[in-house]
């Protein structure tokens, strides 16, 4: 497992979340002069996007995120996105939040699978950040926050070897290996089978720095080429014209990670049979996790700077539906397998007097298993940790 995977996972999933929310908000928005008080306008859409991006790229949050650490469980990360999605006036019910998370995870899983070489995961991340910057191009302050994260990515990952990127890719694939949600866009494009597994192409551009298959060269002990043998391949391979830019600005060349919702088309998610029977694959929902207490410590640090904005005064939160109709949303909530439902953990990491009681209550409700003997730097008591915030 790579200790440098978490920032890439968070930023790419966050980018996919913003793509989906932007598309749905645009689809449901009404011109300002015609909108009722409870209907979305383009001003509301921009406000939601700005609020979420501001929270997502919070300086303290990013500092914690970029510290070398192991990847935490799906539940722990899902909690972060629940909190992030509600960082503005927008409200999602459980079914819509489940669908949003399914779309996010399957899109990024597909991108990781298709990366020509492990290092290209960084280009996928840059594509997401480029698009996020376009969302907030009229807000210089937020733009500076995203640019600062860009610089952190370049500083952290530009010096890593090909082997370290391969370890990052393996860590991501392990995280996604039991997720087989069917998505209509992928099904229509025939890149996903009916069982939720992706179809990988056998043709196309080869990774940058490699040659098109079809030639075997034999060298002697002096390094001189002594024999060549050509062979035919089933795929149609091409050499890439140039390498994508790993700078703050530039042509990424690679299109993975760009906004696939820019062309309006419906996106549905369907549970495959293997995902409906997660009892045999996702036992973390049943068996107590020995690291649960450490994960709560991690979330307490990570979410300390994230405050969910509550509508002030007479303003009410706007509900966003990721389904075509309210009836579809209600049906999805009723038919969703119970083991796939997640509860939101609200961790109040503030200096208010009542925080100890609140955190104790959370620990009690979560039925946290006793952790294994802590390693150096881990295992701090949650309440003690919160004293330092």
d(C-alpha 298, C-alpha 110), whole Å? 28
Look at residue 303 in the predicted model and tell me its pLDDT: 56
The pLDDT, as a whole number, for residue 1 is: 80
Closest CA to 38 of 327, 317, 330: 317
CA distance 71 to 171: 8
In DSSP notation, 261-294 reads TSS-----EEE-HHHHTGGGT-GGGTSPPTTHHH
Phi-psi region of 358 (alpha: psi -120 to 50; beta: other; left: phi over 0): alpha
Q: Is the torsion defined by CA of 115, 116, 119, 122 positive or negative?
A: negative
Is the pTM higher than 0.75?
no
Evaluate whether 339 touches 377 at the Cβ level (below 8 Å): no
Q: Give the per-residue SS3 of 322-360.
A: CCCCHHHHHHHHHHCCHHHCCCCCCCCCCCCCCHHHHHH
| 49-77 confidence digits (pLDDT tens) | 999 999 999 998 899 899 999 887 888 88
pLDDT digits (tens, 9 = 90+) for 319-344: 565 656 656 656 665 666 554 554 44
The residue ranges of every structural domain in the chain are 5-201+245-262+296-309+316-343
List of the chain residues with pLDDT < 50: 273-288, 290, 305, 314, 339, 342-389
């Amino acid at each position: 497992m790579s200790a440098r995977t978490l920032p890439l996972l968070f930023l790419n999933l966050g980018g996919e979340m913003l793509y989906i929310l932007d598309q749905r908000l645009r689809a449901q928005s009404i011109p300002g002069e015609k909108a009722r008080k409870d209907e979305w306008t383009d001003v509301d859409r921009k406000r939601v996007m700005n609020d979420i991006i501001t929270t997502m790229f919070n300086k303290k949050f990013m500092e914690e995120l970029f510290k070398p650490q192991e990847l935490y469980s799906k539940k722990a990360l899902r909690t972060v996105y629940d909190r992030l999605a509600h960082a503005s006036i927008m409200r999602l019910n459980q079914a819509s939040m489940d669908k949003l998370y399914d779309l996010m995870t399957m899109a990024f899983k597909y991108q990781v699978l298709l990366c020509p070489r492990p290092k290209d995961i960084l280009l996928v991340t840059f594509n997401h950040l480029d698009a996020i910057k376009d969302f907030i191009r009229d807000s210089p302050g937020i733009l500076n926050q995203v640019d600062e994260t860009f610089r952190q990515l370049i500083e952290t990952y530009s010096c890593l070897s090909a082997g370290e990127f391969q370890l990052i890719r393996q860590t991501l694939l392990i995280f996604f290996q039991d997720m087989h949600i069917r998505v209509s866009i992928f099904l229509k494009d025939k890149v996903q089978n009916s069982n939720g597994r992706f179809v990988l192409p056998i043709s196309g551009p080869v990774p940058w720095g490699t040659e098109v298959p079809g030639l075997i060269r034999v060298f002697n002990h002096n390094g001189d080429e002594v024999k060549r043998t050509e062979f035919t391949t089933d795929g149609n391979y091409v050499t890439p014209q140039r390498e994508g830019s790993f700078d703050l600005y530039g042509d990424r060349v690679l299109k993975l990670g760009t906004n696939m919702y820019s062309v309006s088309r419906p996106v549905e998610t369907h549970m495959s049979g293997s995902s409906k029977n997660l009892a045999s694959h996702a036992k973390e929902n049943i068996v107590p996790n020995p690291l649960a207490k450490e994960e709560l410590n991690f979330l307490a640090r990570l979410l300390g700077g994230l405050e969910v904005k509550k509508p002030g005064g007479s303003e009410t939160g706007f509900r966003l539906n990721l389904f075509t109709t309210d009836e579809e949303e209600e049906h999805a909530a009723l038919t969703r397998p119970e083991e796939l439902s997640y509860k939101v953990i609200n961790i109040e990491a503030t200096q208010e007097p009542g925080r100890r009681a609140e955190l104790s209550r959370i620990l009690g409700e979560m039925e946290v298993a006793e952790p294994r003997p802590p390693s150096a730097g881990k295992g701090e008591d949650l309440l003690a940790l919160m004293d330092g915030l």
